[in-house]
Amino acid sequence: MQLNKNRKYNKAKILKQLCVFAALHVTSLFITVSAVANTESNVALTTTQPIATALIEAPVIEAKAYILMDANNGQVLAQSNADERLAPASLTKIMTSYVIGQFLANNKIGQDDVVTISQNAWVRGNPALKGSSLMFLEPNQKVSVLDLNLGLVVQSGNDAAIALAEYISGTQEAFIDLMNQYAQQLKLQNTHFKTVHGLDMDGQYSTARDMALLSQALINHLPEEYALNKIKEFTYGGIRQENRNRLLWSKTLNVDGLKTGHTSGAGYNLVSSAYNETGMRLIAVVFGTESDKKRFDESEKLLSWGFRTFESLPVLKANQPLLTQKVWFGDVSEVQLGLVEDAVVTFPRGQANQLKATQTLDYPNLEAPLAQNQVVGKVTIRLGEQIVSEQPLVVLTPVEPGGFFSRLWDFIVLKVSSWF
């Protein structure tokens, strides 16, 4: 009898000590967490770049380097030498256009702004421009930003690129610094610009992958600037010039961009983009083809193969619960987790039934407070065994800290469960 009484006394003593310790611990934790809840903003969301895939053998493409990318999700469908540094030629103007588009979108300049043309943007005052693509500007002319932008994008005018660069930054050198800053922001790891127009210069280079990523950013971030690329002709100063991207006249593809490039050092380059009736958009980049005709033929071959071979679907919807997870120390016991953006996946036609999604949490236990859109794990989408996309798994609704006694109880439960 005495033994049983001692055991009961010891159990009660242990439980009492545990409760006192838990109360002290949770009181301290509650104060700390409350302070965090009042000061911490939502965790910044960083979307994992969809992993490059080569699921089906691509057609033979006659170019030094090429890539085919889905513009909506960044999936790479075909590539060869995509990270080889090569001379971009006038593909450089995609970045020039991107910077201009940023300034327009942020109202730092206006379409109706008037630019005075300098000697640097005049072919007779700048011998480097002789024989290159021009808008045919004259010194001291007054030209609107809109006309210069059309001359840049539609006519590939090197003089227009210089005029806009000087208007925005004062000098070409300062504008080139901006171009390289944006290249870093966009994580173009193998790109460096030395000119605003792309004429050959030592130390200026880019890659098929980087040009695809830059074009994706232009399409998705600056749709008004990108829309200029589908204009087939532009007349300025009585001189009518057609867009050099002949795929705009394709009868089999819905091409609405993007840019040609050619110098003696670069060969013939082309970035093109097209879409189909389902909303799927592809970007094709070819570097260093042997002729003007070849860059269009090879790009058309890539785009046609891509649309014929692949389809794109939103496999998982944004803001829809994917799983419900236990929350400790919160004002609710469970939280729903999902995606901030639709998970759009590109895959070979007819293989949708092979797509599988799995969720992985970054923490063994979720503890309050939790902010809306806070990243707590990832969603991995596989086609068979091949990873085709990874997306951040986030908290769909915020969770505030619970009351003192509910937090005390959670602490005791966690402590006891750790003993077993």
Cα separation, 405 vs 411, in Å, equals 10
312 is catalytic: no
Q: Are 345 and 381 in contact (CB under 8 A)?
A: yes
Is residue 289 within 8 Å of 227, Cβ to Cβ? no
Number of H-type helices and E-type strands within the chain:
9, 17
Q: Supply 352's token pair.
A: 């949708």
Distance of CA 209 to the CA centre of its chain: 12
- Which residues, in sequence order, are CB contacts of 196 under 8 Å at separation 6+? 92, 93, 96, 161, 162, 164, 165, 172, 175, 176, 179
Point out the catalytic residue in the list 97, 132, 133, 156. Answer: 156
Distance of CA 222 to the CA centre of its chain: 12
250 in active site: no
Q: Are 256 and 230 in contact (CB under 8 A)?
A: yes
CA angle in degrees (0–180, nearest 5) for 208-210-211:
65
Question: Is 169 among the residues known to form the active site?
Answer: no
Q: How far is CA 120 from CA 167, 318, 327, in A?
A: 12, 50, 64
In sequence order, which ranges of 79-237 are alpha helices (DSSP H)? 92-105, 145-153, 158-169, 172-185, 208-221, 223-227
Task: List, by residue number, the catalytic residues.
Answer: 90, 93, 156
